[in-house]
């Protein structure tokens, strides 16, 4: 017994010494930090409140995480709230999205779409089913796109290797196309076997010569891949309309340099526009050139700043003839996307997809290009209700980037541009890649795509049409600031 008591006393003494030592270390560290904080001149709070002032920075950094998990309500968070993300998560895991006890959505928010259910909808065995739609019927190799919901442009380089691999294989399984983004065509885009839209950005990555000019030879090499079904000439994107991308030299690895056609280890700055395109005629000339060289449909991607500029484009097409028209126009919302960008551009430049889409659709109809030019909508459309709204507004197709990122496991950590993405989606740090297993995640990509299509078909069935593209503006009511809703066909009457 005495031995036990002595041993206990010895242990307590050791613990006491450790405690005193730790306290001493903490006091020493605090004193050093006090001197550092009081001496520095860059941070007024730390200078006036040494040591304690450091907690302000810590809490600021952690604030977004605490808000996401503890404080924000299901429908409050931006850019995507928890309810939106949870729907994608359940769909990607092939789980039921059936809920109980009523909607948590605030149906009085201005702009909220409310679909008009038919008094006598088709019977359950007369369900709505989506069909393929041809893009570029006049091209040598038209594209019969099987799905109205597809993957928007995200470059290899912005996305990691396993992310691109999972998206490619998931796209093939679900029958959706995958846009390469402006970073060129990588082997990882091709290995899944999906349909691919090759995007040509202002730097012409993947189809450029040594001077950065568009190369017909490189275009032919890309078009030789049967999987590459269309080419998209990007004029602007929602994240940064009017500004080109900046790829730091540290990210230009040997592999990325080879894919993009740029020097390894050197920063690459994309022009803010295509240098050889300064007006609508030159744009149409470029479209014709790419279509002639590749034999495949060619379209453009843009953020609408004003409907006037789109009208001017349609007027030019009308003068030159319908054959000169782009085969499709992708409209990106000015509210920003996956690309990193200065806050003023992301927040304040470019029309929202909610306003731009119906205006462009109306201009297409006014000039008689309904069957010639397909309209693709892109911009925060990740849930079935948003996709159905876009179809009702007049879009032929919808593409999503962030929706598919959520299907891969994105947690909206807002670290996309910092190479520290904790889910391995937007980082090239190998230690994060192990969390993203393509042979598992591709199933979730496919399930999400199929889930969106299925539930849009449910909405179409409820309003009484047999195909989602038969949704019209009179099938949707939009909530107004009076608290009442008005049919979209009254707010945006078609020409």
DSSP string covering 397-436: EEEESHHHHHHHT----S-TTTT--TTSSS---HHHHTT-
Per-residue pLDDT, 362: 97
Nearest Cα to Cα of residue 200 among 316, 137, 286, 306 = 286
d(CA 288, CA 171): 29
133-247+278-491, CATH topology level: TIM Barrel (3.20.20)
Residue with tokens 């990607």, as numbered in its chain = 92
Both tokens of 58, joined, read: 């810590």
Distances from the Cα of 241 to the Cα of 208, 280, 333, 431, 475, angstroms: 22, 17, 10, 33, 32
Helices and strands, number each (H, E), in the chain = 17, 15
Is residue 366 within 8 Å of 312, Cβ to Cβ? no
CA dihedral (390, 392, 395, 401) in degrees, to 10, reads 20
Distances from the Cα of 399 to the Cα of 23, 115, 321, angstroms: 57, 21, 28
Per-residue pLDDT, 196: 98
Q: For 148-166, b where at least 16 C-beta lie within 10 A, e where not — what string?
A: bbbbbbbbbbbbbbbbbbb
Per-residue pLDDT, 132: 96
Per-residue pLDDT, 17: 83
Residue 381 CB: number of other CB atoms within 10 A? 27
What is the average pLDDT score of the chain? 86
Nearest Cα to Cα of residue 330 among 295, 351, 359, 303 = 303
d(CA 246, CA 232): 20
- DSSP class of residue 485 equals E
Residue with tokens 């929602």, as numbered in its chain = 238
d(CA 76, CA 351): 22
Quick: pLDDT tens for 128-157.
889 999 999 999 999 999 999 999 999 888
Low-confidence residues of the chain, pLDDT below 70? 1-7, 9, 57-82, 99-102, 237-246, 250, 336-348, 413, 415-420
Polymer length in residues for the chain: 495
d(CA 408, CA 405): 5
Beta strands (DSSP E) in 268-373 are 268-269, 298-303, 328-332
Bridge-based pairing of strands 397-400 and 374-378 is parallel
For the chain, domain boundaries: 2-71, 133-247+278-491
In three-state secondary structure terms, 228 is strand
- What are residue 268's DSSP bridge partners? 247
Quick: pLDDT tens for 96-129.
777 666 677 777 788 889 999 999 888 888 888 8
Per-residue pLDDT, 65: 60
Residue 28 makes CB contacts below 8 A (sequence gap 6+) with none
Residue 220 makes CB contacts below 8 A (sequence gap 6+) with 293, 294
Q: 121-129: which pairs have CB atoms within 8 A and are 24 or more residues apart?
A: 121/461, 121/462, 121/463, 121/464, 122/461, 122/464, 122/466, 126/461, 126/466, 127/457, 127/461, 128/457, 128/458, 128/460, 128/461, 128/465, 128/466, 128/467, 128/468, 129/457, 129/466, 129/467
Is residue 37 within 8 Å of 47, Cβ to Cβ? yes
Per-residue pLDDT, 61: 61
- What are residue 113's DSSP bridge partners? 478
d(CA 372, CA 370): 6
Residue 367 has φ and ψ, to the nearest 5°, of: -95, 5
Per-residue pLDDT, 30: 83
- DSSP class of residue 89 equals H
Per-residue pLDDT, 100: 65
Is residue 330 within 8 Å of 236, Cβ to Cβ? no
Both tokens of 31, joined, read: 């004193």
């Amino acid at each position: 017994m005495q031995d036990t008591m002595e041993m206990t006393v010895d242990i307590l003494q050791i613990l006491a010494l450790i405690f005193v030592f730790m306290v001493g270390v903490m006091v020493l560290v605090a004193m050093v930090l006090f001197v550092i904080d009081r001496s520095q001149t860059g941070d007024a709070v730390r200078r006036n409140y040494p040591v304690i002032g450091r907690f302000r920075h810590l809490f600021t950094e952690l604030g977004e995480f605490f808000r996401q998990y503890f404080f924000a309500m299901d429908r409050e968070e931006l850019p995507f709230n928890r309810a939106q993300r949870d729907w994608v998560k359940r769909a990607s895991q092939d789980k039921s999205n059936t809920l109980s006890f009523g909607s948590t959505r605030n149906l009085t928010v201005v702009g909220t779409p409310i679909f008009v259910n038919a008094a006598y909808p088709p019977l359950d065995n007369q369900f709505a089913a989506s069909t393929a739609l041809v893009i570029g019927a006049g091209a040598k190799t038209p594209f019969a796109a099987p799905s109205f919901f597809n993957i928007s442009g995200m470059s290899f380089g912005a996305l990691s290797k396993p992310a691109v691999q999972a998206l490619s294989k998931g796209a093939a399984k679900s029958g959706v196309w995958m846009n390469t983004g402006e970073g060129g065509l990588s082997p990882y885009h091709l290995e899944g076997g999906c349909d691919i839209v090759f995007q040509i950005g202002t730097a012409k990555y993947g189809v450029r010569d040594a001077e950065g000019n568009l190369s017909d030879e490189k275009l032919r090499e890309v078009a030789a891949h049967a999987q590459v079904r269309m080419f998209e000439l990007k004029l602007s994107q929602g994240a940064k309309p009017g500004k080109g991308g900046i790829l730091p030299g540290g990210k230009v690895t040997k592999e990325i340099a080879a894919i993009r056609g740029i020097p390894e280890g050197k920063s690459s700055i994309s022009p803010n526009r295509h240098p050889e395109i300064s007006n609508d005629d030159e744009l149409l000339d470029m479209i014709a050139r790419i279509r002639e060289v590749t034999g495949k449909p060619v379209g453009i991607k843009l953020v609408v700043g004003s409907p006037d500029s789109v009208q001017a484009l349609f007027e030019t097409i009308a003068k030159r003839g319908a054959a000169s028209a782009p085969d499709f126009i992708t409209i990106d919302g000015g509210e920003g996307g996956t690309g990193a960008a200065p806050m003023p551009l992301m927040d304040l430049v470019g029309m929202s997809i909610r306003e731009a889409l119906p205006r462009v659709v109306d201009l297409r109809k006014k000039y008689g290009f309904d069957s010639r030019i397909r309209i693709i909508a892109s911009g925060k459309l990740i849930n079935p209700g948003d996709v159905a709204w876009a179809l009702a507004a007049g879009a032929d197709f919808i593409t999503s980037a962030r929706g598919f990122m959520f299907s891969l496991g994105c947690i909206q950590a807002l670290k996309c541009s910092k190479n520290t993405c904790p889910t391995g989606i937007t980082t090239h740090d190998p230690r994060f890649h192990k969390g993203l297993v393509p042979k598992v995640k591709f199933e979730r990509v496919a399930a999400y795509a199929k889930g969106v299509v299925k539930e849009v078909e449910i909405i179409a069935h409820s309003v009484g049409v047999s195909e989602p593209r038969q949704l019209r503006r009179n099938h949707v009511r939009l909530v107004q600031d009076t608290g009442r809703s008005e049919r979209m066909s009254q707010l945006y009457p078609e020409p």
